[in-house]
């Protein structure tokens, strides 16, 4: 289950951050998960709950923000919703496009108990 290793690396980042700021206990951890990152939010949340026991993140909630796929056309600058595979720019027909979001897998914020 690759969500387990992802949850583990997110947790490592969170614990580092918490230690740096002298935080004792965490309430909520926000993560951004891109549609292209092949992570299943439910299993990520499940794995999170498994591994946070006996860490400063124990009892915290993992708030997952799913980031949809979006792209941009280099030829005309159009922004494109790529939730369906798009091979040509709907505006100008160019195939010169880049993926601008949807590959994220990162900690967005950490909320502490206060
Ligand atoms: Zn275009």
Average pLDDT over residues 84-101: 90
Q: How far is the centre of ligand 1, averaged over its atoms, from the C-alpha of 13 (Å)?
A: 38
pLDDT tens-place string over residues 7-47: 999 999 999 999 999 988 899 999 999 998 989 999 999 99
Q: How far is the centre of ligand 1, averaged over its atoms, from the C-alpha of 37 (Å)?
A: 25
Q: How far is the centre of ligand 1, averaged over its atoms, from the C-alpha of 99 (Å)?
A: 13
pLDDT reading at 1 higher than 70 = no
Q: How far is the centre of ligand 1, averaged over its atoms, from the C-alpha of 35 (Å)?
A: 22
Q: Residue 83 has what pLDDT?
A: 79
Q: How far is the centre of ligand 1, averaged over its atoms, from the C-alpha of 94 (Å)?
A: 5
**22: Cα within 13 Å, side-chain hemisphere:** 0
Q: How does DSSP classify residue 68?
A: P
Supply the CATH number for residue 50's domain.
3.30.2320.80
Q: How far is the centre of ligand 1, averaged over its atoms, from the C-alpha of 86 (Å)?
A: 12
Q: How far is the centre of ligand 1, averaged over its atoms, from the C-alpha of 84 (Å)?
A: 16
Q: Residue 113 has what pLDDT?
A: 78
Average pLDDT over residues 87-103: 93
Provide the residue range defining the domain that includes 25.
2-112
Q: How far is the centre of ligand 1, averaged over its atoms, from the C-alpha of 60 (Å)?
A: 44
Closest CA to 62 of 114, 4, 111: 111
Burial of 37 (0-12, 13-18, 19+ CB in 10 A): middle
Overall number of domains in the chain: 1
Which pTM value belongs to this model?
0.82
- Identify the band that residue 85 occupies on the pLDDT scale cut at 50, 70 and 90: confident
Q: Residue 84 has what pLDDT?
A: 77
Q: Residue 78 has what pLDDT?
A: 96
Taking the C-alpha atoms of residue 112 and residue 88, their distance in angstroms, rounded to an integer, is: 45
Q: Residue 95 has what pLDDT?
A: 94
Average pLDDT over the chain, rounded to whole?
Answer: 93
């Amino acid at each position: 289950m690759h969500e387990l290793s992802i949850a583990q690396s997110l947790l490592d980042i969170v614990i580092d951050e918490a230690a740096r700021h002298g935080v004792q206990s965490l309430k909520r951890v926000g993560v951004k998960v891109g549609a292209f990152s092949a992570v299943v939010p439910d299993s990520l949340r499940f794995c999170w709950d498994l591994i946070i026991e006996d860490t400063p993140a124990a009892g915290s909630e993992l708030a997952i923000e799913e980031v949809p796929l979006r792209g941009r056309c280099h030829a005309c600058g159009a922004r494109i919703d790529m939730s369906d595979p798009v091979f040509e720019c709907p505006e100008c027909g160019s195939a010169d496009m880049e993926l601008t979001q949807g590959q994220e897998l990162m900690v967005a914020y950490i909320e502490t108990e206060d």
